[in-house]
Amino acid sequence: MPEALKMPELELIDHAGLDSAVYLRIYLLGLKIFVPITFLAWAILVPVNWSNNTLELAKVTYSDVDKLSISNIPLGSQRFWAHMIMAYVFTFWTCYVLRKEYERVASMRLHFLASERRRPDQFTVLVRNVPPDPDESVSELVEHFFLVNHPDNYLTHQVVYNANKLAKLVKEKKSKQNWLDYYELKHSRNQSKRPMMKTGFLGLFGDKVDAIDFETSEIERLSKEIAAERERVTMDPKAIMPAAFVSFKSRWAAAVCAQTQQSRDPTSWLTEWAPEPRDVYWPNLAIPYVQLTIKRLIIAVAFFFLTTFFMIPITFVQTLANIEGIEKALPPLKVIIEIPFIKSFIQGVLPGLALKLFLTFLPAILMVMSKFEGFTSISSLERRSASRYYIFNFVNVFLGSIIAGAAFEQLNTFIKQSANQIPKTIGVAIPMKATFFITYIMVDGWAGIAGEILRLKPLIFYHLKNFFLVKTEKDREEAMDPGSLGFNTGEPQIQLYFLLGLVYAVVTPLLLPFILVFFGLAYLVFRHQIINVYNQEYESAAAFWPDVHGRVITALVVSQLLLMGLISTKELAQATPFLIVLPVLTISFHRFCKGRYEPAFIRYPLQEARMKDTLERAREPNLNLKGYLQNAYIHPVFKASDDDEDEDGDFYQKWEEESVLVPTKRQSRRNTPAPSKISANSSPSLPDVVQEKGEP
């Protein structure tokens, strides 16, 4: 652990990638924002709050937390000005830190892009929605189009095959192969008896056959099918999707093509930066434009319903899954259930179980939604899921805890309330919920970090898998793969603490130290985990930072609106207009930052591209770029193939090695370097090359 802390940032970037290094900076950002805020709040606001006796006079039950909060100040007191001035100070400080950090991350990203090795995606553009042409194949069409419109720069291209069926077959074969290994192992241990199996569903029904023979014949059959399917995919023009990876002679030309509109129809020949090869999400490469609009609409509506009404089916399940229900449905169990210990356990666990299960699967559900929407890279899928998860958390955890009601009840309340009543309703409830959120930070935040360092969840999962699923060494290795960091679940959770910290900074400063401890601990632990445990799945060069920045700004504006609502109930008439300026300023600051820094995360400046091109040309004047790029974007299913088909393997291997990205220094337990989630399904072994049509 101490070693992990000593590693300088540059080495960290080298070791774990820029994404991970910048992910850690989110925790640092939390510390940078909240350390001074905590000191200021304790130095100024706590004494101001403490030295009143409103709560004592009111003769209500109150805790010490309340005595330190804004509730302890009498109505109409001039002391509220202290809070309002502090709200200004906190806003300015937060914005200052945010701006510094945005600037820093943007320059880190540009530096990273400038200093990194040659990568295929630097020269490549993903072209989608190639319009259909009756006379030419997709491949010819793409080539002609780019030879005409980028004549001096076009180098080569690769078409995208619809290999979803092939991928399925390969996966099936791999599973059979695994079973075969398992039975052979079993047979070698106990030579006397040949293992038997049933051919039906889950091996429970059907005829009993010799397992080794059966699996061998199955594998043979699948091998043939795979060969046929592979033939079909590479030969049948219908298996070619209207998309292609087009490579250029220079980074400059690729940057130009990615940033410009190609055709007069803005929905065809859509160009964008190609993601890294391992970051590509292949199934989504061929969705036409109109479908995309419709899919987004469907998902927007679905997400709205998911966020608002998810409690309804869960409540319904809960009413079903009670003791009486079970006893009715399964009378024989009655004897067991009626044992007092088991009864109370079931009564305690059952109601929460449905909710807990739903929340566990929520990130996966959101991921499926994002996939349906048609994003083409895993990194963008994760970013989208993270946004949705944040909104869900905001509505159901933050607002849900404050107003204490399911989202659809809140919605009902909000629609029927006036615009200035909503922040008031929430604002007034805020100080009362401080104790709850302190507990929440300890239970969810602190305990979560402790669980992370012990890797409790993966440990349980590993043992479960080991017990139920692991049959061979290969399985065990896969079960032990720690996976990647999981931006889509981690980041929205951190953002919740930003929100809590900013909302309570002025209202109940007592909460701040808990937030500080969370950020500090989490920084240490995740630094350790990133260096020693996680594998990086892709490298997006911190493309997520604009989202992080935007969500902290959201939290800031929410905190300002709620403070306005709270103060407006304190009988200090001049105060509210004084606070209206804050959100206006904050949003304006956000727009400034968006214009100033966001382009660095979306576009590739021509100056940078040109510089890198010139350097490279000077260093390696005889580079065979075409050879380097020719097979960079191959569907992973064509790489992950049978061991018996590696005639072309050496050829591919060469390019594979050259296109390996940001090698990690740690010894991975897996034998391929940082495979993507998709290719992880297909076994890593000697690859072969798709028999692609040669380009002239």
| Residues at the site binding its own copies, with contacts judged by CB under 8 A | 110, 145, 148-150, 152, 252, 255-256, 259-264, 266-267, 269, 289-290, 293, 296-297, 301, 414-421, 584, 588, 591-592, 595-600, 603-608, 610
Q: Which residues partner with 154 through β-bridges?
A: 248
Q: Left (φ > 0), alpha (ψ -120 to 50) or beta: where does 677 sit?
A: alpha
Q: What angle do CA 50, 52, 53 make, to 5 degrees?
A: 115
Min CB(372)–its own copies separation in Å? 16
Tell me whether residue 237 or residue 595 sits nearer to its own copies (CB atom). Answer: 595
Tell me whether residue 227 or residue 587 sits nearer to its own copies (CB atom). Answer: 587
Tell me whether residue 111 or residue 455 sits nearer to its own copies (CB atom). Answer: 111
Q: What angle do CA 372, 377, 380 make, to 5 degrees?
A: 80
Tell me whether residue 290 or residue 335 sits nearer to its own copies (CB atom). Answer: 290
Q: What angle do CA 177, 181, 183 make, to 5 degrees?
A: 115
Tell me whether residue 59 or residue 264 sits nearer to its own copies (CB atom). Answer: 264
Min CB(635)–its own copies separation in Å? 28
* Three-state secondary-structure class, residue 694: coil
Tell me whether residue 148 or residue 202 sits nearer to its own copies (CB atom). Answer: 148
Tell me whether residue 455 or residue 610 sits nearer to its own copies (CB atom). Answer: 610
Min CB(529)–its own copies separation in Å? 32
Count of other CB atoms within 10 angstroms of residue 75:
10
With a CB cutoff of 8 Å and minimum separation 6, the contacts of 461 are 479
Min CB(100)–its own copies separation in Å? 16
Min CB(619)–its own copies separation in Å? 18
How many angstroms separate the CA atoms of 366 and 372, rounded?
A: 10
Tell me whether residue 211 or residue 593 sits nearer to its own copies (CB atom). Answer: 593
Structure tokens at 452: 């992370």
Backbone angles phi, psi at 357, to 5 degrees: -60, -45
Q: Left (φ > 0), alpha (ψ -120 to 50) or beta: where does 301 sit?
A: alpha
Count of other CB atoms within 10 angstroms of residue 520:
17
Min CB(285)–its own copies separation in Å? 18
Give yes or no for a contact between 563 and 580, defined as CB atoms under 8 angstroms apart: no
Nearest C-alpha neighbor of 394 from the set 412, 413, 380, 407 = 407
Min CB(145)–its own copies separation in Å? 8
Give yes or no for a contact between 226 and 104, defined as CB atoms under 8 angstroms apart: no
Q: Which residues partner with 124 through β-bridges?
A: 247
Min CB(108)–its own copies separation in Å? 12
